């Protein structure tokens, strides 16, 4: 549409953007860096002027390149604009007009109308006047850009902004106490929301700020259904909510009554579903009553990959309702400065050393009392040695003491004597073979009050390569059959029928009287 020659036109140019960079953070990506898209360009003099926007608002598709192109086109519209006046009623935004014969020939060409402002009036008296008497009362002003420049309208109106934090109630499906997704997001219902029901359809998924958020580590406390939470909006954008905290209210009271328990700080959870239990880490800071309290509703697992040091300034108490198992891969040392008591009320106490030695050192006394039952010490392989600096006493109050060896039982005194004493009788019995009493010098059998008896079912032998000395106030030898005394070829045989003396030579001598008596005496 050509304009009449009477139309005025002027061109206004300004320095504008020739390059656009869009950048934003997409928290759902795994790249860990902001996403950036650019469109570069230059003005007619070859210079580049860039524009940077940090809020690209990418959703689920990578439209950054297209958005950068659209933004560059939008800035291109602002770099130059033609303005003029005319009385052509047909001018409308979006139409193309051809301008020719302008004061600047370089401006001749086709332009796209982007804005047209119409002005005019038509009084009634002029409407009734003849055509020759009528005057033109209409004019317009317009703005345009070269037809070759892509037109991109500015985004209007701007996004609404939400100023300040809001509170809302966490919602979820019926019957659920914790409603979240794989990102730890929750849904809420704002107090001013009159349309949304109080369920999982009340809002979009909203991220929750935590004390730390690393790659597989950090802190995690998910607000539960019914809690009142604090919701803020990133850059004031209502489409970018973020839960930044929780607040107590009249329904959800603090864990401990305030201000009475104002010195307590706690991290306390509640069992789900249904409640009734809790896990808690509590700090009590009242002077003189400081306490660190740890409560596990069920299991407590502790993992230390290196060292674990624990210092208790006063008492320590352990109470275990069932079993305790301790496994130590290396050494164990226990030092007790005072007393130590180990009480097994029911059951057995077993100590097993699979390989190695067991050494017990006692600087004072040691007492072992078996109140009921037996005491057994078994050495499966090796030797049992008990060494004391003074006496060893093995006493049986009601019965006997047995020392049994499958091969040999040896009692050795390296420096002094061995005494076997009994209140009544002392017996040394070899049940199957011989019994030998052997001394390096003398062997003495004595009785302090009555007698010493040596008996055997077959023979009793007293032998010595030197002298056998038998002495006493009275020496009595009694035999049921006979007594034989033999020295070389000489012998004396005493039988119930008589006495026979046989020797190569017999000498009978007396210092005093020598009497030989008998019913008959024969001398040959």
Pair (29, 91) in one structural domain: yes
| pLDDT for 66 beyond 60 | yes
- Whether residue 166 lies inside any domain: the answer is yes
Burial of 290 (0-12, 13-18, 19+ CB in 10 A): exposed
Pair (223, 280) in one structural domain: no
- Whether residue 12 lies inside any domain: the answer is yes
CA distances from 154 to 75, 76, 457 (A): 9, 11, 135
User: 189: which strand partners?
Assistant: 169
- Whether residue 90 lies inside any domain: the answer is yes
Q: Are 142 and 86 in contact (CB under 8 A)?
A: yes
Pair (209, 279) in one structural domain: no
What is the token pair recorded at 92? 């409308």
- Residue 45's Cβ-side half-sphere holds a number of Cα atoms within 13 Å equal to 4
Pair (185, 267) in one structural domain: no
> Which pLDDT band, with edges at 50, 70 and 90, does 506 fall under?
confident
If one counts the domains in the chain, the total is 3
What is the token pair recorded at 82? 């033609």
The closest alpha carbon to 371, from 343, 393, 390, 351, belongs to 343
DSSP run (H or E) holding 144: strand 138-146
Could you report the per-residue pLDDT of 86-129, keeping only the tens digit for each?
Answer: 888 888 999 999 888 888 888 888 999 999 999 988 666 665 66
Q: Are 20 and 39 in contact (CB under 8 A)?
A: yes
> Which pLDDT band, with edges at 50, 70 and 90, does 212 fall under?
very high
Mean pLDDT taken over the chain: 83
- Whether residue 229 lies inside any domain: the answer is yes
The closest alpha carbon to 172, from 184, 190, 189, belongs to 189
Neighbours of 16 (CB within 10 A): 14
User: 233: which strand partners?
Assistant: 241
What is the token pair recorded at 123? 């009084």
Pair (291, 184) in one structural domain: no
- Whether residue 91 lies inside any domain: the answer is yes
Pair (74, 28) in one structural domain: yes
* Average pLDDT estimate for 311-335: 90
Pair (12, 130) in one structural domain: yes
Pair (213, 285) in one structural domain: no
Could you report the per-residue pLDDT of 243-301, keeping only the tens digit for each?
Answer: 999 999 999 999 999 999 999 999 999 999 999 999 999 999 999 999 999 999 999 99
Pair (127, 229) in one structural domain: no
Distance of alpha carbon 123 from alpha carbon 400, whole angstroms: 146
Q: Which domain holds residue 275?
A: 261-297
Pair (198, 108) in one structural domain: no
Pair (29, 109) in one structural domain: yes
CA distances from 470 to 26, 467, 474, 476 (A): 119, 10, 10, 11
């Amino acid at each position: 549409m050509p304009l009449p020659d009477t139309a005025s036109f002027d061109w206004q140019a300004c320095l504008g953007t020739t390059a656009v960079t869009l950048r934003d953070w997409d928290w759902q990506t795994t790249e860990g860096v902001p996403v950036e898209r650019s469109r570069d360009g230059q003005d007619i003099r070859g210079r580049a002027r860039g524009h940077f926007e940090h809020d690209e608002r990418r959703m689920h598709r990578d439209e950054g390149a297209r958005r950068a192109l659209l933004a560059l086109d939008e800035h291109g519209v602002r770099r130059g604009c033609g303005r003029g006046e005319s009385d052509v009623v047909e001018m409308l935004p979006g139409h193309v007009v051809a301008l020719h014969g302008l004061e600047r020939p370089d401006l001749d060409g086709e332009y796209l109308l982007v804005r047209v402002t119409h002005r005019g009036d038509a009084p009634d008296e002029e409407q009734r006047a003849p055509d020759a008497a009528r005057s033109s009362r209409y004019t317009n002003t317009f703005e345009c850009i070269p037809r070759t420049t892509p037109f991109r309208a500015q985004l209007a109106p701007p996004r609404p902004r939400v100023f300040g934090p809001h509170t809302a109630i966490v919602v979820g499906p019926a019957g659920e106490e914790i409603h979240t997704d794989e990102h730890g997001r929750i849904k809420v219902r704002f107090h001013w929301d009159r349309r949304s029901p109080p369920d999982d359809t009340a809002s979009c998924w909203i991220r929750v700020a935590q004390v730390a958020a690393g790659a597989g580590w950090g802190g995690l406390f998910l607000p539960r259904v019914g809690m009142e939470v604090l919701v803020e909006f990133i850059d004031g954008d209502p489409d970018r909510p973020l839960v930044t905290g929780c607040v107590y209210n009249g329904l959800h009271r603090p864990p401990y009554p305030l201000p009475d328990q104002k010195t307590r700080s706690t991290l306390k959870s509640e069992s789900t579903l249904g409640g009734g239990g809790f896990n808690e880490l509590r700090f009590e800071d009242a002077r003189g009553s400081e306490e660190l309290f740890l409560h596990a509703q069920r299991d407590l697992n502790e993992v230390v990959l290196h060292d674990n040091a624990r210092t208790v300034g006063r008492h320590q108490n352990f109470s275990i309702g069932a079993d305790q198992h301790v496994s130590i891969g290396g050494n164990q040392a226990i030092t007790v400065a005072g007393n130590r008591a180990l009480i097994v009320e029911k059951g057995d106490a077993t100590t097993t050393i699979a390989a190695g030695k067991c050494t017990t050192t006692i600087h004072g006394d040691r007492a072992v009392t078996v109140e009921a039952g037996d005491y057994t010490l078994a050495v499966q392989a090796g030797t049992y040695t008990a060494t004391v600096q003074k006496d060893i006493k093995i006493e049986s109050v009601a019965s006997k003491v047995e020392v049994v060896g499958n091969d040999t039982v040896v009692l050795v005194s390296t420096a002094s004597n061995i005494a076997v004493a009994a209140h009544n009788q002392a017996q040394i019995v070899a049940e199957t073979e011989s019994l030998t009493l052997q001394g390096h010098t003398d062997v003495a059998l004595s009785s302090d009050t009555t007698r010493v008896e040596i008996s055997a079912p077959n023979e009793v032998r007293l032998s010595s390569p030197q002298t056998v000395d038998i002495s006493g106030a009275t020496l009595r030898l009694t035999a049921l059959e006979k007594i034989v005394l033999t020295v070389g070829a000489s012998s004396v045989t005493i039988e119930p029928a008589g006495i026979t003396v046989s020797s190569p030579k017999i000498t009978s001598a007396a210092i005093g009287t020598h009497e030989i008596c008998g019913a008959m005496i024969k001398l040959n």
